Structure 1
Amino acid sequence: MLHEVSFQSFNERDKVMGWIYVPAAKPKGIVQVVHGFGEHSRRYLHMIVAFMDAGYIVAADDHVGHGKTALENDTWGNWGNKGFHTMMEDEHKLYELVTEKYPKLPYYMFGHSMGSFIVRDYIAKYGSELAGVTICGTTGTFRHAKETKELLEQAISDGKGGDADAEYAGRLMGWMCERCDDVTIGNEWICSDPYVQRDHAEDPFDAFTRPTNNRAVLYFIQMMEEIKGTEWAEKVPTDLPIYNIGGDQDPVGEYGKGIYEVSNWLCDTGHNVKTKVYSGYRHEIHNYSEIKVEVEQGIIAFMDEN
């Protein structure tokens, strides 16, 4: 069974589009899938089906400025002007909507890339509501974030928040193909499989190739800055199980260094965190044909155990 749902965004402007996928079996829990920067939730259909087959209800939405939400509101690359917590608060609204329909089930979250940033922001405020979280393709200290943030703050102060100047995103992320050979699209850092690269680049619901405005890029950096260090980790409930996964050739996680940086922040503050790094794989470990089933089964085992 599939429910299509919508709700008012925290930004007070957009109608967020979401979906609740219900297996034809007695559910043992709920998992909310939180997608990354520039993409949309239907890129996770293989994972969604795997979770359903394992007995989980799956909830997912398209963030403001992304996917069907951007299409419905005509706001590609524009996240509104209510601050960097907008997507996190929208995920909580989806949580409330789902738990009203399906109460008293253990509730988990999976977030990839920016989705993992959103989940990390979420658990600092709402972590006590969850039975466990998986963060995938996350970041520790992101290269060039500090100096790009300063430039964006000046641009927005100069009245250019609504502009989409590619130089800022380029300064922040333009280095990310540095370990990739034969770069032709610019997204090769996500996965070494050229079919995954092409699917990502040509997806009409994928906003990655559309300009993101300056204010949204600033929010993106502010989101990363909010979830750094033991200062962030101390806000997360210590009894919340956390599964931290990624590839050691992923530039977002600084080739494994950032993944362990996050786990160490959590361990240093008394948290129960399990870390798994897949050697030889880039950003989207869940989209490599040879390991995606293993990745999904690892997440399912983590949820089943908690």
Structure 2
Amino acid sequence: MSKKRASLVVQEDFTEIFTDASTESKREHTEVITIEQALRIITRHMKASGRRDRTISDYEVHVAHFSEVTNVIYLNQVTPEHIYLWLSSMDVSNQTKLTRLKCLKAFLNKCADYGWLRNRFWRQIQIKVDSQVKRGAEEKDVMLLLSLMDLNRFVELRDATVLLLMFRTGIRIGTLSALKEEHIDFNTRTLLIDGSILKNHQQIHLPFDETIERLLKALLKQNAIVRKDRGENNSFIFISFKGKEMKATQANSNIQKRINEYSKEYGLRNLNPHALRRGFANRLLKKNANVALISKALGHSSLDVTTRYLHLDKKEVAENLRSYL
């Protein structure tokens, strides 16, 4: 190194000189960040990473409600008492409280991951919820409803296809709303679903039977007529009567509403999107499919979620165990 350059090198160790100031600065920054600022940053990052609109909306609604009820502005002011106060303000079931608490906890965990909070005290806050048995839809009820629907009408043909597809493949209604013609392979009678439209973002192939094949082919032909009549150009399988794409929330609302109307009119119970998925899971179990296969078909994140779908009463458990003795 030249003498000129060597003269620019300071022969002194300043490593520790600003350490305390830096630490204090970080501490002060943590103290001044507000819940509103943290929520804005986190939801922006969630949007950028492709998280579902519904998930982001839940964060915005529940965290904002927490701040409003407790009058807490800054993150470092949040205490267990604030969370209990928030929970006590709700006139809802414990199950609903638990769902909202999970959302708040997820938000606080992200804040801790970002270095805005030091102690994850909220982990110890729990809500006791009595487990309620949610049974799956019965095949006889599904078939009865399908027999009562007028498949010569476009909307009822569409709804019938949705109903049977959910019951026979376990597909979520949100995924159904995003299905396009390119996802159908009629040669192998399989739905080739890519991860971009699935909740767990993992690709899956779901086989379907001859009845669903016939319904799908009839629906695609009718879709083409509706789109041409309405001047629309898309390849979605499940469209509105105006030929437009049905968003997940719209599909869930409209189709669920129609199923409810049929159920009330004909005295049918337990027919809804979740019950149809549970019915699919139970049908597989009765055909001796293992839980791992059922979990994969349902797109669950863990086997624990799947086991909650597969309710077996005590007598049924005993009879199943007896076959292994």
Q: TM-score, normalised by structure 2?
A: 0.22
Name the one with the larger helix percent: 2
Which has the larger strand fraction?
Answer: 1
Q: TM-score when scaled to structure 1?
A: 0.23
Larger Cα Rg: Structure 1 or Structure 2? 2
Higher relative contact order (CA 8 A, sep 6+): 1
